[in-house]
Amino acid sequence: MLKHEKMKTRKISKPCCLGIESTADDFSVGISTFKGEILANVKSAYVPTEGGIHPREAARHHADMADKVLQEAFAKSGIKPSGVSIVAFSQGPGLGPCLRTGATVARALASYLDIPLVGVNHCVAHVEIGKLETGAKDPITLYVSGGNTIVSAFDSGRYRVFGETLDIALGNCLDVFARETGLRQKVGVPFGAAIEKLASKGKKLARLPYSVKGMDVSLSGLLTAAMNLLNKGQYSLEDVCYSLQETAFSMVAEITERALAHTEKNEVLLTGGVAANKRLRSMIEIIAGEHNATFCAVPIEFAVDNGAMIAWTGVLAYTHNVVTPVEKSFVKLKWRLEEVEIPWIK
């Protein structure tokens, strides 16, 4: 397919960026114009048969599906490979084998099409697509997913981390709890959704460790306590799910409110996979309201890991002279949000 395209003369009507996301269990390709019009956002999710994400298995899935996802993205966008101006990929943070698979695809495309390559920080991309989709300008962002729990805001050239988890991520906490209780993951139904459904039937609030440390939270003790509580058998699964959710969400809500009061920003952006949870949304919405801030909930398609966010952030970076030469395109498994300079915000 690619060879055929290359033969044609390049006539780029509207410059666009193809973004590849592959930090964890999703392989996704998005295409965004330089003006922020999302032309395609296609993904394929790896669903483990048992246990959590096995990095190597997930990477194999990505390698197997890359071709199909790419083709579908091209078909959906109506853009031909030759019409792509730049290739962006998530360079980190994430699981090594998964990141490397995405990076390999990105390098191959960029070299073959002879176009610039841009390495994008996954966490920055979540914030940027959130801003694009909701129109937020300068928000406090609560980014909660399977791998991240971060409260951040822009200040002096970078997104600063005001609060985060001291151990496991919120999504991770819910996922592990769901797995330990024997729930099975179904395609299209994340563990978080299963917990949310169970929690909505819970009534009795059990006392669980509430661990807010300054603007940080600690969730591992809560997870252990919730599992012990369930094993003791005094509370039903629904009640434990309810208690776990209420306690964990109250904790992240509290640190979000702290950061909001501290920075006095007037927008709150909620993103990441856990943003799909309606209860969490309502909590953050209440907090935003109390501080006269606008609540910006990112549409689920763009809140979960997606290629469009990488494409759009690639556009922002490239148009501000950030490119990643192939020899410097190694993946960064532990690339923190605050390490990235953000030249596109003045």
Partner 1 sequence: MDKVSRQVLVKKGAEANLYLASWHGRKVILKKRLPKKYRPQALDDQIRSYRTIHEPQLIHEAKKAGVPTPTVFLVSVKEATIIMEFIEGKQLKHLLSEVSPAKRKRLCLKIGKLAGKLHQHGIVHGDLTTSNMILGKTGKIYFVDFGLGEKTDETEARGVDLHLMKRALQSTHFKFADKCFQDIIEGYQRVLGVECAKNVLDKIKEIEKRGRYIVERKM
**Which residues of the shown chain bind partner 1 in the complex (CB under 8 A)?**
93, 147-149, 155-156, 160-162, 164-167, 169, 205, 207, 210, 212-216, 246-247, 249-250, 253-254, 257-262, 282-284, 286-287, 290-291, 333-336, 338
Identify which of residues 261 and 326 has a Cβ nearer to partner 1 in the complex: 261
Using the 8-state DSSP alphabet, how is residue 189 labeled? B
Whether 309 contacts 126, CB under 8 Å: yes
Identify which of residues 27 and 159 has a Cβ nearer to partner 1 in the complex: 159
CA atoms of 140 and 197, how far apart (whole Å)? 28
As measured in angstroms, the least distance from the Cβ of 142 to partner 1 is: 12
Identify which of residues 3 and 207 has a Cβ nearer to partner 1 in the complex: 207
Identify which of residues 39 and 170 has a Cβ nearer to partner 1 in the complex: 170
Identify which of residues 75 and 261 has a Cβ nearer to partner 1 in the complex: 261
As measured in angstroms, the least distance from the Cβ of 321 to partner 1 is: 23
Instruction: Determine the angle formed by the axes of helices 96-113 and 55-77, rounding to 10 degrees.
Output: 40
Pairing state between β 149-155 and 158-164: antiparallel
For the chain, report the end-to-end CA distance as a whole number of angstroms: 41
Using the 8-state DSSP alphabet, how is residue 323 labeled? -
As measured in angstroms, the least distance from the Cβ of 283 to partner 1 is: 4
Give residue 291's identity as a one-letter amino acid code: H
The two tokens of residue 242 are: 């309810």
Give residue 216's identity as a one-letter amino acid code: D
Using the 8-state DSSP alphabet, how is residue 276 labeled? G
Backbone phi, then psi, for 343, in 5-degree steps?
-70, -15
- Picking from 266, 308, 304, 303, the residue whose alpha carbon sits closest to that of residue 288 is 266
Identify which of residues 8 and 213 has a Cβ nearer to partner 1 in the complex: 213
Identify which of residues 128 and 257 has a Cβ nearer to partner 1 in the complex: 257
Q: CB neighbours (10 Å) of residue 330?
A: 14
As measured in angstroms, the least distance from the Cβ of 160 to partner 1 is: 5
As measured in angstroms, the least distance from the Cβ of 155 to partner 1 is: 8
As measured in angstroms, the least distance from the Cβ of 291 to partner 1 is: 7
Give residue 173's identity as a one-letter amino acid code: C
As measured in angstroms, the least distance from the Cβ of 109 to partner 1 is: 27
